[in-house]
Amino acid sequence: MTFDIVTIFPAMFEAALAAGVVGRAIDRRLLEVVVHDLRDFTTDRHRSVDDVPYGGGPGMVMKPEPIFKALDAIDERRGTPVTVLLMSPQGKPFTQRDAERLGAQEHVALLCGRYEGVDERVRSRVDEEVSIGDYVLSGGELPALVVLDAVARHVPGVVGDDQSVAEDSFSRGLLDFPHYTRPAVVGDLRVPDVLLSGNHQEIRRWRKQQSVERTLERRPDLLENAALDDEERQILNKIRSGVRAGGSNGRD
């Protein structure tokens, strides 16, 4: 899979794309990422990428022509259709479903806006406008890295264990269960006995219980569309009907 990123801050991508799962996938040629400096597509002496807004008002707007030129260069380089995403707080909330769907595309371009945004005519070349959350950032670069990371994980081979990607708790609409590693005791903090028991049936059940409880407490909205198995459904019904089958942490 290929990603083309259009930005006025290419340096923001260097360290982020060299590290971890994504960095390794690029080394292994499973992913190709090309970062395009938008100023390379300007034609004026000052390499301007922004201008004042028609109609007046504060702030600057990104000029359309450099962006069109960058997208033309990307289309030419790729030769086959490129899905163009615009990072924007006005976009549709980006979800795990979107990450899975876009992971099946051959070419994705990520357009990073700055200032007050892009000239509205840029949207004629945009397939999807996506937001990573309801807060205001200084530019689309961090959102582009977030989207790239989440999408890349769905490209076959990028994550070592595709089982873990497919079963990732978020894909099923549940929050993850608590994780522990050695030592079994730190000060007065102990690993729950069940995890040391070696009883794998009980461990599986405890983890499901924890996932369901956490989701109900922290993100009840996720349960509307969660793909629960019979056991998880049963656990949820039990909690909702007021029965506490273990797993209480004494804080609630």
Q: Enumerate binding residues for ligand 4GX (CB under 6 A).
A: 86-90, 113-114, 117-118, 131-133, 135-137, 139-140, 143
Q: Let me know the angle formed at the C-alpha of 62 by 60 and 67, rounded to the nearest 5 degrees.
A: 175
Q: How far apart are CA 127 and CA 107, in angstroms?
A: 12
The CA distance from 104 to 93, in Å, is 19
Minimum CB distance to ligand 4GX smaller for 129 or for 213: 129
φ, ψ at 61 (rounded to 5°) = -125, 140
Q: What is the nearest approach in angstroms of ligand 4GX to the Cβ of residue 10?
A: 16
- Tell me how far, at minimum, the Cβ of 151 lies from ligand 4GX, in Å: 14
Burial of residue 138 (CB within 10 Å: 0-12, 13-18, 19+) is: exposed
Comparison of 66 and 140: residue with beta carbon closer to ligand 4GX: 140
Smallest gap from Cβ 86 to ligand 4GX, in A, equals: 6
**Smaller CB separation from ligand 4GX, 10 or 89:** 89
Phi-psi region of 31 (alpha: psi -120 to 50; beta: other; left: phi over 0): beta
66/143 with CB nearer ligand 4GX: 143
Q: Closest separation between CB of residue 135 and ligand 4GX, Å? A: 6
Tokens standing for 108? Answer: 């994705």
Give the residue numbers marked as catalytic: 89, 116, 153, 168
